[in-house]
Amino acid sequence: MSISKLILAFGLFLNSGFSYAQTLAQWRGINRDGIYEEQQLLKSWPENGPELRWVNEDIGDGFGSPTVTDNMIFVNGKNDSLSYTFALDLNGNLIWKAPNGNEFTGRDYSANFPGSRSAPTVIDDLVYVSSANGRIACLERKTGKEIWSVDMIRDFNGVMDQHGYCESLVVDDKKVYCLPGGINTNLAALDRFTGKTVWTAKVFSDSATYCSPMIINLPTRNILVTFSGHDLLGLDCKTGELLWSQRQAYHFYHQHCNTPIFSDGFIYYISGEGNGAVKLELSANGDSIKEVWRNNDIKNVFLGFVKIGDHIFSPDNSQKLKCINTNTGQVIDSLRLNKGGLIYADSMLYCYSDNGNVNLIKLKGTNMEIVSKFKCEKGTKEHFAHPVISNGVLYLRHGRALMAYNIKQ
């Protein structure tokens, strides 16, 4: 192996927090930051979009994105009233499907949005899934056989929010973490091989919200970072001790859905209400935070954002894609665009908008230009799922349909 490849491999090892032998596939890419390390992708598309390789229209109702490994695809969906995880091959053919209890059907306003909310997390031979009703299961990757399960409402007296449990589970070497939102068990860490409880944390006895957590790996400790209904939280992964928190401006819907990003000693988050976009400085030992800037004018409910160099790119409720200077927090450029799930690969932004348009956006400095777009015609209901890129293929989930497009040069 060349020196450059050795350095890259070591860097990935340090950043992921996993041993070199382990493989990981999860929500919004290997680091949960919307960055996909793909190369030699198309820089423009034909008028009708890139080549559609296949469509599978039998993955059930829902909004959870797929998780793609080197040889399999995993996605959660609702058939009738039940939650299922579907495992497909890379040609879209069903390998197995595994039940995971009853799926979320909603109540009042949320009854308009039944189905799955989260993406599976795959590490080596195990798959970790959560239904929107709060049933967590560990499945055997090859067969879908259930190894263990935990119910956040039954086992931890959890209280889900109006739109159900939405977190895509985060794991480390030994544990899987979840947020039941209960009065006495606000957060919990489970042994990822047995499902047994390692620790629970009461924190502020706060309700669950819709954030998929992330882990910051420091030399002295690892920190679980997520939102509850009213706070950004940082907990010691080993003990569950609350290290720090930041109160969020109150709103009935608790729209703190986006996974925070950690980069160069700073935490960035964007909420759909209240605090907006925020930059926090994390102390060297991880036990405290200090706010650097806040921009209350940025409102991004659940669309994700990406950090590229000294800039953050984020969809906004104003139907603009905004570029934020990470040093000042100021918006320095914008592009008129229907809001949608945003990711980045090979120097291009991809935005799957809520009107069904899939946009390929070229960056020239901070300037953004839509160079290609096409309409997602297959599927049902809202265009809420985040796009995924793997091995030169763009995956889009639209309700009961999963589509695979060839975007390799």
DSSP state of 366: T
pLDDT at position 390 is 98
pLDDT of residue 251: 66
User: Does 313 have pLDDT greater than 90?
Assistant: yes
pLDDT at 12: 42
Count of other CB atoms within 10 angstroms of residue 59: 28
> Is the model's pLDDT at 3 over the cut of 50?
no
Structural domain including 249 reads 22-406
In a domain, 5, yes or no: no
Average pLDDT over residues 325-349: 98
**Strands across the sheet containing 73-79:** 67-68, 73-79, 82-88, 94-102
Give me the pLDDT at residue 22, please. Answer: 62
* Mean pLDDT for the stretch of residues 109-122: 94
Say yes or no to pLDDT of 352 above 80.
yes
Contacts (Cβ under 8 Å, ≥6 apart) of 1: 9
| 282 token code pair | 């994390």
Dist CA 274 CA 256 (whole Å)? 9
Q: Give Rg (Cα) of the chain.
A: 20
Query: Which pLDDT score, from 0 to 100, does residue 253 have?
Result: 66
Per the model's pLDDT, the better-predicted residue between 252 and 335 turns out to be 335
Read off the pLDDT band of 108 (50, 70, 90): confident
* Domain assignment of residue 7, yes or no: no
Give burial (CB, 10 Å; 0-12/13-18/19+) of 80: exposed
Question: Is the pTM here over 0.75, yes or no?
Answer: yes
Sign of CA dihedral 221, 35, 316, 321: positive
Does position 275 have pLDDT exceeding 70, yes or no?
A: yes
CA-nearest of 139, 107, 108 to 124 is 139
The more confidently predicted of residues 5 and 334 is 334
Reported as half-sphere exposure (CB side, CA atoms, 13 A), residue 298 has a value of 34
Note the pLDDT of residue 244.
98
Average confidence score pLDDT of the chain? 93
Q: How many Å apart are CA 225 and CA 272, to the nearest integer? A: 18
Assess if residue 184 is contained within a domain. Answer: yes
Q: Dump pLDDT digits (tens) for 24-59.
A: 999 999 999 999 999 999 999 999 999 999 999 999
Least confident interval from 136-140, 169-173, 272-276, 300-304: 272-276
Picking from 325, 273, 332, the residue whose alpha carbon sits closest to that of residue 299 is 273
Q: Is residue 137 part of a domain?
A: yes
Residue 152: its H or E element: helix 152-156
What is the DSSP code string of 259-280?
A: PPEEETTEEEEE-SSTT-EEEE
Question: Does residue 14 sit within a domain?
Answer: no
Buried-state track 12-47, b at ≥16 Cβ within 10 A, e below 16:
eeeebbbeeeeebbbbbbbbbbbbbebeebbeebee
| pLDDT, tens digit (0-9, with 9 covering 90-100), for 79-93 | 999 999 999 999 999
Local confidence band at 255 (pLDDT 50, 70, 90 cut-offs): confident
Number of other CB atoms surrounding residue 245 within 10 Å: 18
DSSP 13: H
How many domains, the chain?
1
- With a pLDDT cut of 90, the percent of the chain lying above it is 88
DSSP 384: -
Side-chain half-sphere CA neighbours of 30 within 13 A: 18
CATH classification of the domain holding 204: 2.130.10.10
User: Does residue 244 lie in a domain region?
Assistant: yes
Which residues sit opposite 353 in a β-bridge?
A: 340
User: What are the tens digits of pLDDT across the range 362-404?
Assistant: 999 899 999 999 999 999 999 999 999 999 999 999 999 999 9
Q: Contact, 291 vs 279, CB < 8 A? A: yes
pLDDT digits (tens, 9 = 90+) for 140-183: 999 999 999 999 999 999 998 889 999 999 999 999 999 999 99
The answer to whether residue 212 is domain-embedded is yes
What is the pLDDT confidence band of residue 8, given thresholds at 50, 70 and 90? Answer: very low
Q: Cα(237)–Cα(216) distance, rounded to whole angstroms?
A: 9
Which amino acid, 316? Answer: D
Percent of the chain, pLDDT > 70?
A: 94
